[in-house]
Structure 1
Amino acid sequence: MEYNKNNFEENKKYNVKAIMAVLLFGDFLSLFNESILNVALPVLIEEMHVTATTIQWLATGYVLIVAILIPITAFLIHSLNINPQFLSAMILFLAGILFAVFSTSFTTLLISRIIQATGTGMIIPIMMNTALVINPPEKRASAMGLYVCAILVAPALGAIVSGTISLFFNWQSLFIMMIPLSLISIITVAMFLENVTVLTKPKVYIFMLLNKLK
């Protein structure tokens, strides 16, 4: 991705504040969701009749999928437009949440968490890359500061809020509360997120990589 003065002159037509707000909200939701099940793990152990080691995959699997998707999405950013990518990520995220609400076993709940994590792993690199594109050099530090705050605060806040809700409701309610918020994010993404990046269509030479690994 090239960052030059001409790009910033062209980006003046974009609503930077709206794009930043949409990205920040979607990122906050996905990272908030990362930790909402942590406080409910003891309850899930009893309800789903699994061991503590097994139930930990609901948290570990989420982080693992996110880690895998981040570099993959970094490649896709240069091949596909931002709006459909981010929209697809949020729809996947919502689909995983809906699947979790109706999960009755550990396996189905784990699959739902993997689907959610797929969306999260796409959202993070899209957010950061877009913020760098739409902001001039002197404002990038502030933009990254906002997103780092979301990355740090959202998981901590997720544990606090979910712990409070779990005192009064069942674990499914943790996902139910995410449904309207996710719908709001999807609608705002469709309305305000514009395709601000330049597609370079990079190629991955898989066979060359495999030969180097031998």
Structure 2
Amino acid sequence: MEALNAAHDYPPGMNSGDALRERRAESKYLQSLVRADAAVLGEMLACEIADHWVTHGVGPTWHELWSSDRSNDWWQYTLGELPDHRLARNPTFAILDKLGWIASNSSSRSLCTGRRFHTRFHGDHVSSATPHAVGFLVARFIGVHRRLHNGESPGWPEIAATQADAKGIPLFFNALDGHAQQRWLHTQGWIRLVDNQLRRGERAKSETHRRSKLKRASATLHAA
């Protein structure tokens, strides 16, 4: 199988170094197309994911999303053809994940809509902070609330009514918006559900530990 793949990637008569450079250049070009129209493609694929959850109760596989009509239509319109998935699929999904259109973890069919999908209609009424920042703020509030209320978790009405970014802009439009975003927050490990109660997730705990280490290191540096 490795020999067959090599023969496909580097046909006879083509220098492997030249082939590698050509493939890298093509991959960069495809990524530039995705970034230039990420809002359109992101919304299209997020809608595909949302429809799949409504119909099947789980997310689509990466292959199903890549092979969907919405994906094909965008590539046909933008490029004139569907590009080699080995060059374009992973970078495309990585870009859309970073921008918050989609979210996933290592679990099968975990692919779900990201924060940007839920906030796209709210404009300046909700924070434009990154999903990473929003996830940490939500998890931190849950942890603090539980410590102050004898282990009782907050609900989405409390989170939506009180949580804002550094500029004071609310993280969520309302409680319904917050609850709708629960899936990606759970998928990315910021929160977890225990007996229908919101708890901090493992990613949130790791991020808190990382920030504490940085804070201690900074304090030590300034004291030296």
TM-score by length of 1: 0.26
Between Structure 1 and Structure 2, which shows a larger proportion of strand residues?
A: 2
Point out which structure has higher relative CO (alpha carbons under 8 A, 6+ apart): 1
- The structure number with the bigger radius of gyration is 2
Q: Indicate the structure with greater helix content.
A: 1
